[in-house]
Every structure is written in structure tokens, then in C-alpha cells.
Amino acid sequence: MPMNVDLRHLEAFTAVARHASFTRAAQSLNVSQPTFTVQIRQLEDALGVRLLDRTTRSVQLTQAGRELAPHVERLLRELATLLTNTAALSGKTSGHVSVAALPSLCGSMLPSVIAAFGAKHIGISVQLLDVTGAKISAMVKSGEVDFGFGSVQKNDPDIEFTLLFRDRMHAMFLRGGALEGRKSIALKDLATLPLILMSRDSTVRTVVDSGLASVGHFAAPAYEAIYMSTALAMVRAGLGVTILPSSALDAESRSEFISIPVSGPSLDRDIGFIQKRGRSLTPAAEAFMQAIRNSRFRKKHVTG
């Protein structure tokens, strides 16, 4: 399209093609007839072709005008639809959000957040991917997801991390055990028990290993698990004690397991939003991020 053809010219042409009258067409666009006439003339000059045959009594499309009219009408309809959809996105009434999050968060707080968010924002769909901490940053950087929700294991100049809360590590064991009744337990005391820890690519394992090293414990755990549910199943079978974030137990599991805070250095896991530096979020993604900020679960776990 020539650079000196703008939307007003196309709207004017469509109006006169529809009304077959300069007067009625100008009135439909709320412009004066002289202004309307200038717009049509500018369009014809820009295209280098006559679009209308005008007499004092009638206006008719030329052959070129008849060929152009349906294309311009379709173009204006598509533009109107695009602008409406964009307005819906900015108004947070439609869109899609893709989030990569730690399995512990996917199995605890996020399902209820998604349910509440979906009830409020019916036109926005949310895709949740549960992956380990290292993979979250990679997916954020590649653009595979809008943002991540979890922990960052190492500094990365391409990643921006916003702390939301700190998740304290807890010792978890079956009710009726010797540890029941304590308000907390020292990490050095746990080190003497058979430990069931998460696999080495887990952010939980990174925190626990750092803590164990600080108390001089370097022995391998009795068992390793990829999923927290597997670690709890091993505890249920009497194989040992596991160390997991406080968010790992749901209401149903708390009737079966005891969860006691572990005292010791560096046993907090920082949980927050992981974004690619310099990349803006869509309005839909911003709305879902705000829903996470406002969740009851998050407020319950904001600790020092």
C-alpha cells in the first residue's frame, strides 16, 4: 500500500461504495462533504486510478473501484476484529498464560490459584508445566513459557528473579515416631537418621546438601527420590525421614505425617518469579502473576 494512503481514505471509499452518495457517505463518517471529497481524491491520486464516476446526480464505482471495494471492506473488518481482540487482551478478558513451576508448587498452591483465576478471568487459559529448578530458567530464557515460578540455583545475567516468599525445610515422618512433639529439630540430629532426599537436580536437594555440609555431614542419603510423593511413600513404608519444604504436605497428608521445622543454617528456599530480563509480560500473564501474589497460600508462607 502506498505510504500516503491512510485509514481515513479507505473508510471514505468504503462508505461511498456502500451509500452511492457523497452526501450520505460523509454524514455516516461525521465529516463535512468538502473534507470527504478531498479524501476520495487523495486516495485516487495515491493509487493512480479513478475509483468513482461522479455526476451531479449519481456516484458509481468504476471497474477498478468494483474490484477494490470488497478487499477494502474485508481489510477494515479484519482490522476492527484485531483491535477488539487487542483491547480484550489489554483488558485481561482473553489470552493464554504458560508457566513453568517447581513440582512442589504445582502440587500445592498453584491448582487452587488457577481455579480461582479461571473463575474470574473466563477468557484466559493457563498452561502449567511442572519441571525442576534448572529447567525453569531454560524455558523462560527460550520463551517457551511466559514466566517461571520457583527458585534460581545460580546467578544468570539473562534472568530476573523476584522473591515472593521463603519456604522453610521441614523434617517429615510418620505420626507416633520418636521425634513427635518437638517444635523443631537440629539438622545435625537428622544427619544421624536414614535420610530420604530429593534427587541432585532438585532445588530442595541443593538447599539440604548445603545445610548438611555446614554441619560436617557428607554421607550419601539412604534413598533418593525424584518426586516428593515418592519420598513421602518411602517414609510411609518406614524407610527413614525426609526433608522437604513446608509446602510439600497438603491437608490430607498432615493427618498421616508430622512436619517439624529443621533448625540450622541456610535451610530456607527462596521462591519467586523467574523472568527473562528485558522481556515484557502480556496483560494475561501479569494478571495471573498478581493472582499468585494475592493467594492465601503465599501469604501463609511469607517468613523471614
Q: What is the pLDDT of residue 2?
A: 44
Q: Average pLDDT for consecutive 10-residue bins of the chain (304 residues)?
A: 72 86 86 88 88 80 87 80 60 77 86 91 89 86 92 86 90 82 86 91 87 86 90 92 82 76 81 92 89 73 43
pLDDT tens digits for range 98-111: 999 998 888 878 99
**171 and 264 fall within a common domain:** yes
pLDDT tens digits for range 183-230: 888 888 888 899 999 988 888 888 899 888 888 888 889 999 988 889
**67 and 124 fall within a common domain:** no
Q: Is pTM beyond 0.75 here?
A: no
- C-beta separation of 137 from 275 below 8 A: no
Q: What is the pLDDT of residue 302?
A: 46
Q: What is the pLDDT of residue 235?
A: 93
Treating both helix axes as pointing N-terminal to C-terminal, what angle do 7-19 and 63-90 enclose, rounded to 10 degrees? Answer: 120
d(CA 108, CA 297): 9
The C-alpha cell 502440587 sits at: 107
**118 and 171 fall within a common domain:** no
**150 and 170 fall within a common domain:** no
In DSSP terms, which residues pair with 124 in a beta bridge?
95
The CATH number assigned to the domain holding 210 equals 3.40.190.10
* Separation in Å, CA 63 to CA 8, 14, 22, 66, 166: 22, 15, 19, 5, 71
**158 and 176 fall within a common domain:** no
Burial class (CB in 10 A: 0-12, 13-18, 19+), 160: middle
The C-alpha cell 502449567 sits at: 128
- C-beta separation of 275 from 145 below 8 A: no
Ramachandran bin of 167, using left for φ above 0, alpha for ψ from -120 to 50, beta for the remaining angles? beta
Domain holding 180, by residue range, is 166-268
Alpha helix locations (H) across 127-245?
133-142, 187-190, 203-214, 228-236
How many CA atoms within 13 Å lie on the side-chain side of 284? 23
**Strands in the chain per DSSP E:** 52-54, 59-61, 95-101, 124-130, 147-150, 159-174, 185-186, 195-198, 223-225, 241-245, 257-263, 268-276
**151 and 220 fall within a common domain:** no
Q: Is residue 2 part of a domain?
A: no
**149 and 296 fall within a common domain:** yes
Count up the domains in the chain and report the number: 3
d(CA 260, CA 277): 37
β-pairing, 52-54 vs 59-61, is antiparallel
Alpha helix locations (H) across 121-258?
133-142, 187-190, 203-214, 228-236
